Structure 1
Amino acid sequence: MPNQFRTSVIARGPVTAEGLAQDVNSLFDGRGGPAYRIGRAQAAPVRSPVHSFVTGIPSAVPSVRGMRIVVIGGTGLIGTWMVRILRAGGHDVAAHSLSTGLDLRSEKGLPQALNGADVVVNLTNSPTYDRAAPVFFRETTENLLLAAEDAEVGHLVTLSVVGAERVPRLPYFRAKVLQEDLIEAGPVPFSIMRATQTFELVEAMLPPAASGPTVRLPATALQPLAAKEVAWMLATVSAGEPLEGIRDVAGPEVLTLAEVAQATLSARGDNRTVVTGGDAGLFAAVPGDELLADAGATIAPTTLEQWLGR
């Protein structure tokens, strides 16, 4: 499917907003209260997504029980949360990664991991963001597609990035589009879930305090959300029928990378100042709104204020 014709797939199904909101708040330690604004946060994203997190997912806990789900990359932050959510839903879940002996590049441990799997989730990421990223995603995706076909896996779920197709000048985002294209053309029924950047990613980007009194970051527009929310959406997609398409999920506010970083530092008692610069880091090459979600994306509930106060 050509990139320009892609549309977000919004889940439909019997669900009560009241019951789901209670379960979502329970899962995310939601604090309720007003929708806080920080810096230049906007009440609605620039691209005006219209589906809320509460009405955009089919059930509070995946309802089809007893599935065998393999999560590759299941020992990382999002993967760990996803495994917990799926197991709470009654599924048989196996978490695999390099640390457990599975290597998608060499295929070591891959056939054994997929044996008997109904669903496989791929959360693996390139170790670099440079020109090696396309090679990594091509090799690992092709290996996984072939192994999943051989194992007769009925559903391949992959995490991608909102707006990757709008930033072809960066090798990493170009590589994620390549991965999506390989999956769409592959032999395994699939679902692609694209997410915006997480609060945790921005916090991890901050250099250690010993690096100096200032932190230099670009004013790239983001629509951040919590890693647990990404995990939740991945879990609901994994427990359902293959979308044969793409679903986007994003946060409720539009903030710049610099604003998120400054608020995070302040909340952590760090007195450093964030200075914006157009040549600072990976996101410096994304000056516009390319990484914001389109209309139709599912909007997660957690604001930056709520995440910082968790």
Structure 2
Amino acid sequence: MGRGNYSQVMEFTLLGFSTPPMVEVVLFQVFLILYMSTVAGNLLLILAVGCSHHLHTSMYILLANLSFLDICFTTITIPKMLSNFLMEKKSISFASCLIQVYAFLVLGETECVLLAFMAYDRYVAISNPLRYSTIMRTTTCVRMIGCSWLIGGLISSVDMYYLYRLRYCGVTTIDHFFCEAPSLMRLSCCDHSILDVIKLIGSTILLLVPLLCILYSYTHIILAVLKVNSRRYKAFSTCLSHLIVVMFFYGSAIIMYMKPEHSGHMLDKLLSVFYTIVTPMLNPIIYSLRNKDVRGAITDLWRSTIMSKSQVLCSV
């Protein structure tokens, strides 16, 4: 494995979906609407949590951070894809490609850990409700968020160290709509067996370990709900939203990174679309539809915005 060399490869070509120009115009419009919906929905959820004092609890602070991750997750991939739909030359510089890969890894791995912490938060809320406010203090929540980013950043940095040292001496065409680690590894003309091992270990740690923690938490949640009164059944309903999000995120991620290498590129692209834009778009919808407090906060935010505009118009 040699050292990275910017003079050797200056840019990559992104094939995207390899569709006719007329189809690409339609895809541009579709993905633009999806992207705007994703950003608007998650930003609205962040504002609702930030502006509503009764939502300043660990559950909603973690949820707001998840929305922030989802906005970043789509922003690092979709805008470049949209611009390539409109350009004849669909290229990305070598440096921009590495930045995109690193940001994608950090955000994805951070979200894996954060979802596990969110499951633990629900476990404490249902299994030990009397001590919930004591255990899940704001400082504890902030530490969880910081720990998620730290773990995601450290493991991603190890991956990027070896990715940067890969050498590309032939084809520089990436059969995808954004730069990702597996695509760069396939293009490399040097031995990347060490990176394969790191990828396997990293995927196991960042996917299976948090998933096992989530399953452990929900097993105890279900047992606690079955033993106690109906009040905890109401609390359990708040867990269903998180469980649906976990199924979407981990389901697509596990299929993506645990599937055989010889599977088709179109499957890779469809899975990538699902967990880079569909899942982030659905997250705020899932949480707001199943959570009365979030719906109320969004309604209050909307009313206060309309009233503020009305006061401005009246003053004019």
Give the TM-score band, short-chain normalised. under 0.3
**Bigger radius of gyration among the two:** 2
TM-score after normalising by structure 1:
0.26
TM-score where L is the length of structure 2: 0.26
Considering Cα pairs closer than 8 Å and 6+ residues apart, tell me whether 1 or 2 has the greater RCO: 2
More helix per residue: 1 or 2? 2
